[in-house]
Every structure is written in C-alpha cells, then in structure tokens.
Structure 1
C-alpha cells in the first residue's frame, strides 16, 4: 500500500523537505503533494496563463482560480492531509485547506503548537489526529503501516 499525502501549510520554510527526507529514511511508502511553493509563481500564474490583468485585484483573482484548481486536483488524489500551522505567519490558506480536507472526508492530521490550541480548537476537534510537530505527524502515518 502507498499513500499520497497532501502537505498543507506555510511555504516560507523547509518543513516539507525535512518531512520528505525523514519519510524516505524510514522507507515509508508515501508520495507527497501540496501547494505551489514558489510564491512568485503562485502569485503570477494567472497572468502567466491569462495574460496581463487590468489591476492587482484581477491579478489575484486569476491566480486564485488557478491555484484553487491545482489544490482541488491534488487534494482529491490524496489519501490524507497534513496541515501545519506555525506561529510566525498568518495561516489563511492552511485553514482553508484543512477545512477543504474535512469537507471532502479526507483524514486530517493537524500540526500546531500548543500556543495555537485555542484559536484552532474547532479545526482540532474535526481532525483525526492533532500533534505539535511534523515528526509526530510522520510517526502517526508510520503507525498505519505497522
């Protein structure tokens, strides 16, 4: 059995690479997908495909439509979603992706520091597992294969 894991969460650090390397070291049969990690490309994809937009609102709308298409396709193909919330950045997209996973009935592993317990209590209540580190999320997935 192999699982496809959608990695939702902040794109401003290398947590995904670390998790992928650790999964590889453990020989876990996991394939990882997630949002576009190139922030500039994500912001500009609407104009890349549709051409120059008349203003930043239209530019954002065009990019959002294409990014949402990408997320929808990859999340539909995933077996489980890991959503990482951190303290440093606003996490609007992570919250949206976690909610999307719940709506789709995808198993959700929510990663959040204890300091975010209160603001994420409703999402935490809907997740299958809540942990504090990506490594704990990987341990939970590892248990699936034992």
Structure 2
C-alpha cells in the first residue's frame, strides 16, 4: 500500500526533510506547498502582473498557491499539518480544516506550548505529534504494523 502524504504548515524549519529522510524505505509519496517563501508570496504578481495594493498582491499569490494546496490535500491519504513556534500559521489551520472537511486522515504536529491554542484542530486530527520522528513512527505503523523499537 502506497501512502500519499501532504506536508502542510510552517516553512521555517527542516521538519519536512526530517520526515522524508526518516520515512526512507517506506512506500510513501510526499507532496507539499511551495516552501520558498519569496516565490510563494510573489508568484501571483510574477506571473500575472504587479498590483499597486499589497492586499491584491497577496490575494493573487494566495489564489495561485491554493491550486497546488487543494490538489495536494485532495490527493492525499494522510495530511500532516505543522504549526511552528515563530509565526501564527493561519494557512496551516485552514489546511487542517480543509483536510478534516474532506475526511482526510489528519496528523497535527506542534509543540506542547500550542496545545491549548490548537485544541479544536487537535480534536479534528486522528493523531497529534510533538516531533517529526513521531510522524515517521506513525507512518511506519500504518504501513507495516511495526512499533518503534
């Protein structure tokens, strides 16, 4: 069984790389949003033309990025959403809600200090992890039935 896993959320740490490296040898295909912050912010105006207002600049980029995000979440068997320490990731919360609304298997990844703020998101998830290695262990268990050893 191949799992299609969409890795959503913060882009300022290497959590995606940790999960991908840890899942080596498992039958998993990963997908994610564009993680180049500048490209993600400026894609709309770079492709469709400049905007005088920052609102419309961001709006163009958000809509263009949503094409990739929606497709990735819709095609996923499992959606992992990471909430980082540095910024409030409203887009990550939106992705988690979208995945939950589609009935996707949702794993939420965040530190203990965000537990209260994310309690509703956590309640929609099938699993909550604090470290990327736990996500890898979850994927391994789902695919093989094997526990961490």
Range into which the TM-score falls when normalised by the shorter chain: over 0.9
Map 1:25-40 to 2 at 5 A: 27-40=25-38
Corresponding residue number in structure 1 for 2:8:
8
CA distance in 1, matches of 2:128, 2:93: 14
CA distance in 2, matches of 1:102, 1:65: 20
Cα distance per residue 1:76-121 (max 9 Å; x no partner) = 1111101111222212111111111101110001112111111111
Corresponding residue number in structure 2 for 1:55:
53
CA distance in 1, matches of 2:108, 2:31: 16
**In the TM superposition, what is the alpha-carbon distance from 1:17 to its structure 2 partner?**
1.1
CA distance in 2, matches of 1:2, 1:139: 16
Cα distance per residue 1:16-48 (max 9 Å; x no partner) = 112111111xx1111111111011111111112
SS of 2:6's partner is: strand
Map 1:1-146 to 2 at 5 A: 1-24=1-24, 27-146=25-144
Alignment TM-score, normalising by the size of structure 1: 0.94
Asked if the contact 2:108/2:122 (under 8 Å) is kept, the reply is: yes
CA distance in 1, matches of 2:47, 2:85: 34
Asked if the contact 2:8/2:79 (under 8 Å) is kept, the reply is: yes
CA distance in 2, matches of 1:108, 1:90: 19
Cα distance per residue 1:52-98 (max 9 Å; x no partner) = 22321111111111011110011111111011112222121111111
CA distance in 1, matches of 2:129, 2:15: 15
CA distance in 2, matches of 1:81, 1:11: 16
Q: Name the Cα RMSD after superposition.
A: 1.1
Asked if the contact 1:5/1:82 (under 8 Å) is kept, the reply is: yes
SS of 2:122's partner is: helix
Unaligned runs of 5+ in 1: none
